[in-house]
Amino acid sequence: MKKILSVITLLCVFAACSQEKNTDKPKEEVKEETKKNTILLADPTIFYNNGVYYLYGTTSGNIPNGEGFQVYTSSDLKDWKGPVGAQNGLALKKGDSYGDKGFWAPQVLSYKNKFYMIYTANENIATAVSDSPLGPFKSETKEPIIKTGNQIDPFVFIDENGKKYLYFVKLTNGNRIFAAEINDDLQSIKPETLTECISETLPWENTENTNWPVTEGPTVLKHNGLYYLIYSANDFRNIDYAVGYATSKSAFGPWEKSKDSPIISRKNTSQNGIGHGDIFWDKDQKMHYVLHTHFSKSAVSPRKAAIIDVEFVGNELKAVNNSFSFLNN
């Protein structure tokens, strides 16, 4: 029985990789941070539509992440307004969707004249739809996309040929990144296509040598015929949480991890716990990566949203030096 309880304890500690821990937040530091107006979001994503940037993420700070997803807006990536979601600042609200806790790591995309949000709740993945990026996003079925096991951190990639893929993290012997074709309704996958992509294999991906290694937060893009899978590794509470990437000639792999990884870490940003974000392009087609950091040198949460520029040098993906900045409102 002791052995079983130990395993359960480990799973509880490590599986909830995106969960905020409000006990981490020193009051005096939060008060000082409030003066700076840094946006407190974890697992952020930015969606650009008709001249407006929309920022979503796992709610952080004083708003419980069991309530839904906030959204902020900007016209220039510098001055942000919000939260401005359709429902008291929320773009998606608990009760309109699948799940009742742990709303983590959303992605928003435009598809078939609607706006779709793919998100995590109750350690599973679901889809919600809206007529506006501000919401309200609502789930038609209030059921998870995958009905067996537990999975988090979804990302939908639509290839040039129209095929659609769901990349996500499966909670099984660690946080491991999987992929599957997703059906045209973005509500279900083709289970026969389920394929493991990435797990922890390199020293930088598990600096604390834990029994539950973490690779998570996938984003996928295509460049010069190569698929790029950008991911974060280490537990999010670890100061060495960082971002690397792998490439493949196929959407399903096999994936070759870059020897330059991690490309974003505390070593080139001076920020602890930096990672788990999303690639986006601004109105001038300049590429950026939006991510979160630890609250401070001594506290993990509430986590803060920031941007760093990234670029391709040939087929290598690199962070641009001295381009890191926090998002403020």
Which tokens is 136 given?
A: 């309200």
Rg (CA), the chain: 18
Beta bridge partners of 307: 290, 325
Alpha carbon distance 180, 166 (integer Å): 5
What count of other Cβ atoms lies within 10 Å of the Cβ of residue 326?
15
The distance in angstroms from the start CA to the end CA of the chain is 51
70 C-beta neighbours (distance < 10 Å), count: 27
CA distance 1 to 6: 9
**Residue corresponding to tokens 């797990």:** 199
SS3 at position 299: coil
CA-based torsion, 93, 185, 170, 291: positive or negative: negative
Q: What does the angle CA 229 – CA 135 – CA 309 come to, to the nearest 5 degrees? A: 35
- pLDDT for the residue numbered 66: 81
Output the tens digit of pLDDT for each of the chain's 329 residues.
434 434 434 444 444 444 444 445 454 444 444 446 999 999 999 999 999 999 999 987 666 678 999 999 999 999 999 999 999 999 999 999 999 999 999 999 999 999 999 999 999 999 999 999 999 999 988 999 999 999 999 999 999 999 999 999 999 999 999 999 999 999 999 999 999 999 999 999 999 999 999 999 999 999 999 999 999 999 999 999 999 999 999 999 999 999 999 999 999 999 999 999 999 999 999 999 999 999 999 999 999 999 999 999 999 999 999 999 999 99
Q: How many helices (H) and strands (E) does the chain have?
A: 3, 20
